[in-house]
Amino acid sequence: MVVDRSTRRCLLCGTSFTGRAFVCRPCADRYRQGRIPDEVLRRFYSQVDIEYPEWANTYGNYNPPRALMNWLDRVDRSARILEIGAGGGFLLEELGERGFADLTGSDITVTALAEMSQRAHIFRVVAADAESLPFASGSFDVVISSDVIEHVTRPYQHLAEVQRILAQGGLYLIKTPNRRPAELYYRARDLYDHHIWHPSMFTPGELSSALAATGFSAEYLSVSDLTAAQLRKIPTRPARALAEKFPISRLPVSLHPHLEVVATRLP
């Protein structure tokens, strides 16, 4: 598991180092200022899928957006739905089982597209960059992304693209880490490379501002409990047991470990 300390290969340069990070310290420092080149990120994520298949959502549904999935039950089954960064396509598969018929999945990594294509009988598969979507304006009623926006290097451009491809009154359902609790956790675990894999994290206030600036209103859903992927990141068994029972829904949104947001496209 990724958060266990071990001797491992840097996913960018191949050097051996000991720690919990994905890349060695010199590689992490090289990209601390400014935007990380797209080519470097593509190589990084393809290597993640190869070296740490259990980390990404490519080969299993570890970190589902539960509040958003419950919320989706009220949506018309004929809605045209796009999932961006669909990984292995497990969320779309579940939506298909729930009776949604017009489903499209997109991703950027070759490994995810190959895995998703095994479920291409349930939904369309499209190779796409989340910042430049190859769809006509107004072509979807619902767009969903789970643990994607924090990976995007130009989040405003991404949100503007989603706004463009949504129909009037369309919805963008977003699950993403909450920046302040996430940064505390990364610091405590010495994940010094998080600026590489989560370059765009938001507090609820920051996400609301970004959504308002790109033509959306935002509603934050109550997050009921930790997902399996969050629980397994907690280091000791007693702490894990405590976290499992902790009533997160009673905390204010600013303290939730992750955010689940329903953004409505404004006219």
Q: Where along the sequence are the contacts to Zn ion (CB under 5 A)? A: 10, 12-13, 15, 24, 27
Residue with tokens 């304006």: 137
Question: CB of 147: closest distance to Zn ion in angstroms?
Answer: 24
In the complex with Zn ion, which residue's Cβ is closer, 29 or 219? 29
In the complex with Zn ion, which residue's Cβ is closer, 17 or 185? 17
| DSSP one-letter string for 81-116 | EEEET-TTSHHHHHHHHTT--EEEEEES-HHHHHHH
- Other Cβ atoms within 10 Å of 141 Cβ, number: 20
In the complex with Zn ion, which residue's Cβ is closer, 10 or 72? 10
In the complex with Zn ion, which residue's Cβ is closer, 15 or 209? 15
Question: CB of 30: closest distance to Zn ion in angstroms?
Answer: 8
What is the rounded distance in angstroms from the CA atom of residue 248 to the CA atom of residue 257? Answer: 9
What is the rounded distance in angstroms from the CA atom of residue 89 to the CA atom of residue 5? Answer: 30
What is the rounded distance in angstroms from the CA atom of residue 8 to the CA atom of residue 263? Answer: 40
In the complex with Zn ion, which residue's Cβ is closer, 1 or 13? 13
In the complex with Zn ion, which residue's Cβ is closer, 15 or 118? 15
Question: CB of 12: closest distance to Zn ion in angstroms?
Answer: 5
Question: CB of 190: closest distance to Zn ion in angstroms?
Answer: 16
What is the rounded distance in angstroms from the CA atom of residue 117 to the CA atom of residue 123? Answer: 9
Instruction: Look up residue 112 and give its two tokens.
Output: 């995810």
What is the rounded distance in angstroms from the CA atom of residue 9 to the CA atom of residue 64? Answer: 29
Burial (CB count <10 Å: 0-12, 13-18, 19+), residue 232: middle
What is the rounded distance in angstroms from the CA atom of residue 183 to the CA atom of residue 223? Answer: 19
Question: CB of 255: closest distance to Zn ion in angstroms?
Answer: 34
